[in-house]
A = this chain, B = another copy of it.
């Protein structure tokens, strides 16, 4: 896949420089590492730090902003940021109230965030970590803790960021993150693979096939299937999500229909049409919907659907305003 880049080795830093230049009123780079923080307006709140590999944009740096995250640490494409990068972002975004790191559950990320937290501890910083494990396809029911973190990070950041903004303590903010994670599920499919800058795709998908349950780093899915109508694929995903989250009639949810890259809004809307039809039949009420590219795998064509079950507390936090370069909510819909 041809890409608009200069040198392969400069992709992440140049992209970060461009992001910071475009958002210089609200964001700044962390000195010496590939990280970005929100320009501080309120140092009396818990700060929220995200991080992970590049190539998932707007995740992670595009979710830094008012009512969402305070900083993001970036690794190379599809590779975790190193502990020093994470530590510097934590320190740059740090407040006396402490920092909560929201970490998607991949081995490299959990290890490096763990080391960064330990290093922060040596400097007497209060740093807690909450894992994001929303990807249903990556481990069976009963082993939820082993699941990967994917696009559901958007919802978890939304409510956790709102809790921090409202002045919740570090322990309370962490509880919100853990609760939101327990109530969020994602399933995704891919129509095409993606390729790292300077490389060829690391797997192929046949012209009449799709991958079910692929990872966000270009990992192949758990099943290869014959391509079928969008409505049938969506039915399969929604049945899986409703079952795993044990949703029932009367429940209220937020829905995210996420393009993994090349899939168009034209298609995402067709996907959501069927999501809405299916949930309506089961009397599950969609409180709010987000449709777009939020957690991508470079230019991979595909879609993931995330559902967060809302209780009164999460709904109230969901409704708080949020303004980032790639996600906004005016508040009180």
Contact = CB atoms under 8 A, between A and B. Distances in A.
A6 interface: yes
Interface stretch (A37-45, A143-151, A163-171, A260-268): A260-268
Given A14-B270, A270-B11, A301-B299, A262 B262 contact: yes
Interface of A: 1-7, 11-12, 14-19, 21-23, 25, 54-55, 57-58, 62, 77, 191-192, 207, 210, 227, 229-231, 233, 257, 261-274, 276, 289, 291-293, 296, 298-299, 301, 303, 323, 325-326, 328, 330, 333
Nearest to A14: B270
Contacts of A330: 323
B25 A333 contact: yes
Given A207-B2, A230-B5, A264 B261 contact: yes
A208 B47 CA distance: 45
B21 A264 contact: no
Nearest to A66: B330
A262 B58 CA distance: 14
A166 B246 CA distance: 48
Contact of A273 (B14, B57, B58): B14
Given A5-B267, A264-B296, A264-B299, 16 more contacts: A2-B207, A2-B227, A4-B233, A4-B268, A4-B270, A4-B271, A5-B229, A5-B230, A15-B267, A18-B271, A18-B291, A22-B289, A22-B291, A77-B266, A291-B325, A328-B328
B233 A265 contact: no
